[in-house]
Structure 1
Amino acid sequence: MAASPTPKLNANFPTLDAFQHLGPFAVALSGGADSTALLFACAKRWPGRVHAVHVHHGLQAAADGFEAHCVALCEGLHVPLVVQRVNAAHAVGESPEDAARQARYRALAEALKNNWGGQIKDMALAQHADDQVETLLLALSRGAGLPGLACMPAVAERHGVTYHRPWLDVPGEALREALRAAGQAWVEDPTNTDTRYTRNRIRAELLPVIEQAFPAFRQTFARSASHAAQAQTLLQEVAEQDLQIVGNPPAIKALQQLSEARQSNVLRLWLALEHSQASAAQLQALLVQVKACTTRGHNIDIKVGRGFVRRDRAVLRCYNL
């Protein structure tokens, strides 16, 4: 934990001008350096407008210490705090990080819905440039498509909450330096140094090497993620237009009039609307069957996600298990 002299009011925190238009909003407060910096900066700039939500995951012994820090910090800043307790244990075959993230977003949405009259719909998140780079490298390691390579958006809606990430272009160390200058303490999550987790391994072992070779990597990687996000937006628009053409459920003959790339694009959208998701191999197998479907007797029965896509006379239908 960093030293904790009396906090100063004029610390040099990165800009928060993106929040100028917001009414009352909440900060997702873990107690770590990043979220502590975000809450501190917001509360000092807009006293009385800021609230906080701390999600207690209950996954490690240090969790009670995180909560105690958040309580003390919010009391000192006169920020209303809600502590939301969740069970973030992961299921068999599920990533612990993914399970915790999903539980956290559900908890944040529930906290806003059930507190402060349910009037707060905006939540500030403290992810920064290093987090964005780690997300991009994780996506590349998994062979992700454009949605994964687009990484984290500056503004996004989820579970009825609008999430804002104002510091995606700010290095993490800049936030720690601002906290030190302000004399504000934070807590260190002991799991952050556990390199069994891929994200931690990227942070500890890969980013220092990349920084030596490419000092401006945070800016250039962020630019690539932005290009991917823009391209994905265009693909989404094309898919929506093509879905109007092929119909829902998609007509096989209409699909066959599109290029394979557009077939793939529109089928991904259709499956998403059907609450299903195909792997690259499953989607390729479906495209092969759509192309071969030239007679009435040609059946299509492809495993997709947790269900199947089957031919129903002239159209495709999705059956989820």
Structure 2
Amino acid sequence: MAVSPTPKLTPANFPCLDALQHLGPFAVALSGGADSTALLVACAVRWPDRVHAVHVHHGLQTAADGFEAHCVALCQRFNVPLAVQRVNAVHAAGESPEDAARQARYRALAEALQHNWGAHIQHMALAQHADDQAETLLLALSRGAGLPGLACMPAVAKRHGVTYHRPWLDVPGLALREALKAAGETWVEDPTNTDTRFTRNRIRAELLPVIAQAFPSFRQTFARSASHAAQAQTLLQEVAEQDLLQVGNPPVIKALQQLGEARQSNLLRHWLALEHSQASAAQLQALLVQVKACITRGHHIDIKVGRGFVRRDGAVLRCYNL
């Protein structure tokens, strides 16, 4: 028999969740760590009949069974329906382990919702917080990312047919742990979080404490910068969509040449994304040079882009993926 939640728990124990207020039934992505445990508890206390949970069992470490056990017990205590989805997140040769696990996790979350609740639940809350956003921004800066990367994690995004919500992007991770401790709740520590072979963990353990000493409000200011980048990227996306309507799809070279270089670049990135391709900065620059030089009928364009090529086909550009 499920045990009722501790009476002292109220929504006021945890950071504000008003961003989720408008949702109907929704799920929480529950890993069993401090952040997702806090989110599950906070949501279950505020909306006891509306919340479901999904736990993804990656099977990548011996601690995975302990995470699942914690999630099962927690959801039983709060009368939250739980779906456990098992995945194989082993990365392929040349693929980042973190990226492989993330891609597998998102697929598993979407599949769990579909298999367990169908169209009844299409929204999911994620527990990423201000520290996660700051780490993401620093990673993007270290890679020389453009606006899409600097925009970091959006508060709301759709993926694989699921709308994801991140209500705590402006909340420090320490606040979530303190709320759990005050409520007498426990969580499971992921042993890989202290492995500084992973860049994100090095940022968390070594860089963020130094930044906090110099700029105590960095979490809020970094989040604000990411928000500005996201807004600017949204504007560029709208411009690219309008320009593509004028230039055509596939892009007509002469029409493309009528735009300034920055708008050509913006349009081509957008077009390549629609073609499921992505150009590096060097590849895109090479393509822009060839577009500019394409003033004769016999001019040849054949540029390597991502896993394929962009080639001239008469008056237009075409993308060929391998």
Shorter-chain TM-score bucket reads over 0.9
Instruction: Give the TM-score of the pair, scaled to structure 2.
Output: 0.97
Change in CA separation of 1:117 and 1:232 when aligned onto 2, cut-off 3 Å: closer
Measure, in 2, the Cα distance between the counterparts of 1:273 and 1:38. Answer: 35
- Cα offset for 1:245? 1.1
Structure 1 runs not aligned, ≥5 long = none
Q: 2:155 and 2:7 mapped to 1: Cα distance?
A: 29
Deviation at 1:6, TM superposition (A): 6.0
Matches within 5 A, 1:75-224: 75-224=76-225
Q: Deviations over 1:197-244 (max 9, x none)?
A: 000000000000000000010011111111100110110011011101
1:294 alignment partner in structure 2? 295
Moved more, 55-64 or 117-126: 117-126
Aligned Cα root-mean-square deviation (Å): 1.1
Partner in structure 2 of residue 43 of structure 1? 44
Residues 1:107 and 1:7: Cα distance change in structure 2 (over 3 Å): farther
Residue type of the alignment partner of 1:130: D
Q: Which residue in 2 is equivalent to 1:9? A: 9
Q: Which residue of 2 aligns with 1:263?
A: 264
Q: RCO greater where, 1 or 2, for CA within 8 Å and sep 6 or more?
A: 1
Native 8 Å contact 1:26 1:124 kept in 2? yes
Distance 2:8 2:109 in 1: 29
Runs of 4 or more above 3 Å deviation: 5-8
Measured at CA, do residues 187 and 312 of structure 1 come closer, stay the same or move farther in structure 2, by a change above 3 Å?
same
**Structure 1 residue 188: Cα displacement:** 0.1
Deviations 1:163-221 (A, max 9, x none): 00000000000000000000001000000000000000000000000000000100111
Q: What SS does structure 2 have at the residue aligned with 1:84?
A: strand
In structure 1, give the amino acid aligned to 2:196. T
Aligned partner letter, 2:155:
A
CA displacement at 1:267 relative to structure 2: 0.4
- Give % identity: 88
Q: Which runs of 5+ in 2 are unaligned?
A: none
Aligned length: 317
Q: Deviations over 1:110-146 (max 9, x none)?
A: 0111112431000000000000000000000000000
Query: Could you tell me how far apart the structure 2 residues matched to 1:305 and 1:161 are?
Result: 27
State how far apart, in whole Å, the 2-side matches of 1:218 and 1:9 are.
27
Contact 1:128–1:168 at 8 Å: present in 2 too?
A: yes
Query: How far apart, in 2, do the equivalents of 1:117 and 1:298 lie?
Result: 53
Take 1:91 and 1:167, find their aligned partners in 2: how far apart are those partners? 32
1:7 CA displacement? 7.5
- Distance (whole Å) between structure 1 residues aligned to residue 193 and residue 99 of structure 2: 15
Q: Which amino acid aligns with 2:219?
A: R
Q: Contact 1:9/1:44 (CA < 8 Å) preserved in 2?
A: yes
d(CA) in 2 for partners of 1:122, 1:234: 26
Q: Is the 8 A contact 1:7 1:182 kept in 2?
A: no
TM-score (normalizing by structure 1)? 0.97
